Amino acid sequence: MTKPVGVQIKRLPHGHGLDLPAYATEGSAGMDVLAAESVTIKPGQRHAVATGLSVAIPENYEIQVRPRSGLAFKHGITVPNTPGTIDSDYRGELKVLLINHGTDDFAIQRGDRVAQLVLAPVTQAKWEEVDELSETVRGEGGFGSTGGHAKLA
Ligand SMILES: O=c1ccn([C@H]2C[C@H](O)[C@@H](COP(=O)(O)OP(=O)(O)OP(=O)(O)O)O2)c(=O)[nH]1
Ligand SMILES: [Mg+2]
């Protein structure tokens, strides 16, 4: 594990009294982030869940907002824009977009862990426009060109 990177975090008024996002175990990739509001999401509906937090991510990093597999498996609750992108220059409230793909209403209580945040390095690209690209064995083959899934007997 590399050395942790410092990320400034600010609690907004409605974020006071909640734990900061935290790694559930020593080896966790993501920090579970808590809802700062109570809300019920009906089947098929989306909601931008408040976290009560803003962050200042260091340059050359992003935070990815990813679903929690337990919520997805048990309740059909996932992040429609997964992985959500928190840009290093964003200073607004960090929100967790959720969609209910399940069949039942999903009730979130303030303090529930609704998603996980992964700090990840980012490299910006600089286009180098050319008339011809380098040749490869794959060439233009894609979308299953190397073989599909195992056939049923
Ligand atoms: O799950 C998310 C995704 C984004 N954001 C915030 C932080 C991010 O930096 C900003 C913009 O996100 P994105 O670039 O994905 O959205 P956009 O539709 O391209 O909006 P914009 O034009 O503001 O970039 O919105 C969140 O709080 N949660
Ligand atoms: Mg954008």
Predicted ipTM of the assembly: 0.99
Which of the listed residues 12, 57, 62, 85 should we mutate to test ligand 1's pocket, taking the one with most ligand atoms within 8 A of CB?
Answer: 85
Residues with CB under 6 A from ligand 1: 65, 81, 84-87, 90, 94-95, 97
Lowest mean pLDDT among 14-18, 37-41, 58-62, 149-153: 149-153
| pLDDT at residue 150 in the model | 79
Would you say 69 is a known binding-site residue? yes
Residue 117 Cα to ligand 2 middle (Å): 18
User: What is the model's pTM?
Assistant: 0.95
| pLDDT at residue 49 in the model | 98
| pLDDT at residue 120 in the model | 98
First to last CA, the chain: 44
Residue 90 Cα to ligand 1 middle (Å): 8
Would you say 15 is a known binding-site residue? no
Residue 118 Cα to ligand 2 middle (Å): 18
Pairing of strands 39-41, 84-86: unpaired
Which region, left, alpha or beta, applies to residue 71 given φ > 0 means left and ψ of -120 to 50 means alpha? Answer: alpha
Please give the DSSP secondary-structure letter assigned to residue 70.
H
pLDDT digits (tens, 9 = 90+) for 98-135: 999 999 999 999 999 999 999 999 999 999 999 999 99
Tokens representing 98 are 């959720």
**Is the pLDDT reported for residue 153 higher than 70?**
no
| pLDDT at residue 149 in the model | 78
E-strand ranges in the chain read: 8-11, 22-23, 31-34, 39-41, 46-50, 53-56, 61-66, 77-78, 84-86, 95-100, 106-108, 113-121
Q: Whole-angstrom Cα distance, residue 96 to residue 87?
A: 14
**Is the pLDDT reported for residue 152 higher than 80?**
no
